[in-house]
Chains A and B, each alone.
Chain A
Amino acid sequence: MSHPDTRPAIEFRNVSYRLNVQGKEGRELLHDLNLEVQRGETLVLLGRSGSGKTTTLKLINHLLAPTKGELLVDARPTREWDVIRLRRMIGYVIQEVGLFPHFTVERNIGLVPKIENWHADRIAKRVRELLQLVGLDPEISSRYPRELSGGQRQRVGVARALAADPPILLMDEPFGALDPITRAELQREFLALQKRLRKTVVFVTHDLREALLLGTRIALMEDGRLLTIQTPEEFPTCAEPLAAAYTNAFGAISEDP
């Protein structure tokens, strides 16, 4: 019997996902995935478009359901979880951010606490904390998303995902839509945040540099299959052909954040 703290936070056991369009069987987007995500690590899913990395991510918070196999979160199959409960303990950050345009920054960040019926004071305090955490001026809380820059918006998105202090964070190419300078800023800040918070993070990207910078392990995917898992140190010298192709494509690699 393994100690609860050493059990993986997330475990994929022979998970497959096939599309089902209007009752007809479609393409298989994920095939026989076996993967463990340890508590406190940042697992990066790296791959090209169509590699199945976003599908994998969405299976974790049950936005999609496995068509074969079993997916365990906190040692329980997602099928057996109350989906709402599951999602509320998982922070979700997407590339388009998806802030509610009709909510102020404060209301956006306080969304999950609000639907979890936290006391108004507690929410306000938490929002202030989070704004500080992601490096935003507290006066921004009364603004609306349309008044913010792309970088500010994604910072709010991250703050929102962290609001109820979920143990797990899912991030789908969160910095992909930002300019390189802002992207670099946010990557640095994310690293600092992770050092403090130690969340279990699953991070999707197609950018090798980002993967090497942010990940504790990198899972390389292609065509719905997991090819290999490597640490950032091992990856550049990995013999797997696709990994090598990636390394070459990204040219000279600097480990220094």
Chain B
Amino acid sequence: MFQLAMPSIIEQMPRQTIIAILLLLTACGPSRENRIVVGSKNFTEQLILGEIIAQQIENKTHLPVERRFYLAGTYICHQAILGGRIDIYPEYTGTALTAVLKEKPSADREKVFAEVKTNYEKQFNLEVGQPFGFNDTFAIEIRGEDARKLGLETISQAAPYTPNWQAGFGYEFMERPDGYKGLAATYNLHFADNPRIMDLGLLTRALKDKQLDLIAGNATDGLIPALDLFVLKDDKHYFPPYEAVPIIRQETLTHHPEVKQALDDLAGTISDQDMRQLNYAVDGQHQDVKQVVREFLNKNQQ
């Protein structure tokens, strides 16, 4: 066989050192049984939801919770939970359906939830928890003054005006199958120029400042009432439902079944209105997320 004539240095290195080094390298796959890691995407609503989940678990189960927020998008969160780097994170049923499972969008709320729940369990060993209670669907927003001036209430009514408007959307909305392309086709939207692509956080500002005339924001955006923005009704029911749900690793539930109970207790406790208020408290009033969540959970216990 082969016999590698090793230089004396390696022959001298004590076996223990070599074993120690190898162990260090292999021990790098995380094997932390006793902590719960909660993840979230990197916008305000997600940070709030993540914090709600985290505090709820801390309060009800007294398990140590680690927060791994600001993950930059759906794909990254999905990868993180598949890789076991996070145990729970808040997702939206519509996003799970189209962006993760890559299925066609559908408007039926119950069907979407059922489909996501079964497939996540089958394909990924992930449990889809009970909805928190609000529907953060895409909101096609225009300025309040334009809505009033032109008497617009629905997207269909606004469609004829689009050739005079500049639109702005976020990256994900432009690329997703349930995003811009489908919307423009369904409602016959014809903007004169291509939509500008900007960061979600900057879109509302730009709309207010008249750099944009129509954006796709979130229905639960706290700044909507504050900046006098108007949400056009999705009369053709183009957008699938985006109910917020917790996604949890099966393994985590097996080791800590009490987590399921803690999360179920949150089911249906956050309405659209609630979410908007929470968002506004953080975005508009610049309050600390932890503080806002603490107050919200206290109020709910009473």
Contact = CB atoms under 8 A, between A and B. Distances in A.
Interface of A: 102-103
List the 3 shortest-distance A-B pairs measured between CB atoms, nearest first: A102-B7, A102-B5, A103-B5
Nearest to A102: B7
A151 B18 CA distance: 41
Interface in B1-55: 5, 7
Interface of B: 5, 7
3 contacts: A102-B5, A102-B7, A103-B5
Q: Is the interface of A mostly helix, strand, loop or mixed?
A: loop
A103 B5 CA distance: 9
A164 B5 CA distance: 21
Contacts of B5: 102-103
Nearest to A100: B5
Contacts of B7: 102
Nearest to B6: A102
A57 B5 CA distance: 30
Contacts of A102: 5, 7
A25 to B, nearest CB: 38
B104 to A, nearest CB: 61
A102 B4 CA distance: 12
B72 to A, nearest CB: 51
Contacts of A103: 5
A24 to B, nearest CB: 36
Nearest to B7: A102
A102 B5 CA distance: 9
Nearest to B5: A102
A113 to B, nearest CB: 14
A254 B137 CA distance: 109
A77 to B, nearest CB: 31
A228 to B, nearest CB: 46
B4 to A, nearest CB: 11
Nearest to A107: B5
B1 to A, nearest CB: 12
A111 B7 CA distance: 16
Nearest to A114: B3
A102 B11 CA distance: 13
Nearest to A104: B8
B69 to A, nearest CB: 54
Nearest to A115: B3
B11 to A, nearest CB: 12
A142 to B, nearest CB: 12
A86 B300 CA distance: 92
A118 B140 CA distance: 86
A110 to B, nearest CB: 12
B165 to A, nearest CB: 70
A203 B7 CA distance: 35
B276 to A, nearest CB: 74
B83 to A, nearest CB: 44
A163 to B, nearest CB: 17
A102 B7 CA distance: 7
A132 B193 CA distance: 95
A61 B24 CA distance: 50
B73 to A, nearest CB: 53
A252 B7 CA distance: 51
A102 B6 CA distance: 9
A103 B6 CA distance: 10
B189 to A, nearest CB: 67
A202 B5 CA distance: 32
A103 to B, nearest CB: 7
A114 to B, nearest CB: 9
B7 to A, nearest CB: 6
Nearest to B8: A102
A172 B5 CA distance: 28
B67 to A, nearest CB: 54
A47 to B, nearest CB: 38
A102 B9 CA distance: 12
Nearest to A103: B5
A146 to B, nearest CB: 14
